[in-house]
Structure 1
């Protein structure tokens, strides 16, 4: 049995679709942990075992991991978490105990690039995510951390600005090239690991996308695909901090985001070479054509 956390999010919902298709022939049982089962399509609820609640709750994971062979682990955002440790390792500690108690053998987690880089220890949310990876790995399960760069899909938060003003923002230098990945490719990587559980030990699986792009490169591609000018505006870290505070994000998470973005501009995502094994398939142009353009036109 495979247990999927966060099954209604961008990665989890795509992963669930993949596994539902694959398990038609494999006979693998699926279980999901979800706060609101009503957010699952009726056809999905009919084919999975549903455990209602938060996967940060000890009683919930104790029920959910009984009889489980593998778990997909994704920590949901908590803007009001009192600390970064609470947001990641604190949320995960009950699950880590349940992995051991129920003999879960394989765990696949969503994490971040940066381990081993000079800035890894001062990268805010990423530093906390890497500590969470260590917590899970120390339980003795076979663990693979999906080491991800910035998601292409984060641009969907700026659809209105791209559509109405032809502008998107970030805090990195306009000409800094870096990897980006589509969330659908992260889900594909997770599915492959969950379905073929011949791997052992602990380690990272980078999901780097097929190319490094700068913000200027992305603006050019978006302009081509959308048929209208799109430009990049660099946002200062102070303005970024103020924007987050305006969205009622707590102080700990605000500083965690700011530290992460500063670290990205200092090379946080540059530590892993792209190889056939680490290069995921979806190009930024394909993502813009298939995801961004329909969202802008909607």
Structure 2
């Protein structure tokens, strides 16, 4: 199974495919150093002392896994051929899907952690622990791997039943019906709804308790975290999820795939705003909220 090679009758060297190769190449050039430095900074300087740090480390790891899979997409769209086997195609595809799923969940976890810190500072102290954050992160990875099993089996059957196929594109192949056709779209829409509610609750709390919120350092950065979360979903995750639900063709889906891949280059901004708002003077923020 590992030694079977896909035939090299790729999509051809048209302008759209070269554009995809350029976009994916730019994502690699920007995303690899940004996420590598972010991951190193999170582990080195912040020592896993807060739930947000744990979620951000896992988010950066998810982005790195996506970035290291993109060079083969660049090669495929630049040359129109696939030099690796079916299993490599499956794993690279799964890395992309897992990034969308795990990123949407980890971003939501970051928002929920901030929600608990601002809206329920006292009642949530036992929930907002590093150990609970690690347990939640482990559950996300296990959940993603479990979902990958039926998807990988279905994907491999589709590739082997296809007499002439390439990775990422299947011009003369009718793919088998996926075991979970709307899973990713439902997940993204659900996480988006959670982020919208969290943003509204935090904004309402800060406006209602003006005297309390005035003691929170960098209130603007608090809301910027939630604004970044919503941007990630609305601009990067939502278009692809909508295209999958509508079952649009390649011309509609591929631009959304490129757009979704760009999220790994914007996530470091989320780390910056969260670090500036909550980690530099985290003790002061928590004590102010507790007194309120």
Radius of gyration: which is bigger?
2
Give the TM-score normalised by structure 1. Answer: 0.27
Which structure exhibits the higher relative contact order, with contacts defined as CA atoms closer than 8 Å and separated by 6 or more residues? 2
Q: TM-score, normalised by structure 2?
A: 0.28
Q: Which has the higher helix share?
A: 2
Q: Which of the two has greater strand per residue? A: 1
